[in-house]
Amino acid sequence: MPALNLRADPPVADLASVCDRLDTLADLLRRLLERDAPAPADELIDSAELRRVTGGMSEAEFFRRRAAGRILRPTAGGKGQRLRWRRSDVAAWIAAGMPTLTEWDRMNRRK
């Protein structure tokens, strides 16, 4: 991203030049904000991201735990589709200590 040095840049001569420079500044600011924006809480994540946020377990370990009922149920996906989890659900599940599906269901029925 180009640095904008307001002191070294030549003075602007007319209103059109001022507007162009303001547009450039607004574009730079927009790109900075988009780059640093946090991910939306309801964004869907795949199994690779779920494995990463739960401590970086291997793919094999992930599927073993999933088969044993020790991984959160996916929000989307199914037979022949990529499994997806809602980021906010994953965060709540991790905050609860990553309980088994049975424990998680029991905890959520009380709410």
Amino acid 109: pLDDT = 86
Tell me how far apart the alpha carbons of residues 63 and 47 are, in angstroms, rounded to a whole number. 10
Tell me how far apart the alpha carbons of residues 18 and 38 are, in angstroms, rounded to a whole number. 32
Q: What is the pLDDT of residues 13-40, one digit of tens each?
A: 677 777 777 787 777 777 766 665 666 7
Cut 0.75: pTM above it: no
Q: What is the pLDDT of residues 42-64, one digit of tens each?
A: 889 999 999 999 999 999 999 99
Rounded to 10 degrees, the C-alpha dihedral 84/86/92/93 comes to: -10
Q: Domain coordinates of the chain in residue numbers?
A: 44-109
Cβ–Cβ under 8 Å, residues 75 and 69: no
Residue 58 phi, psi (nearest 5)? -70, 165
Which one-letter DSSP state was computed for residue 26?
H
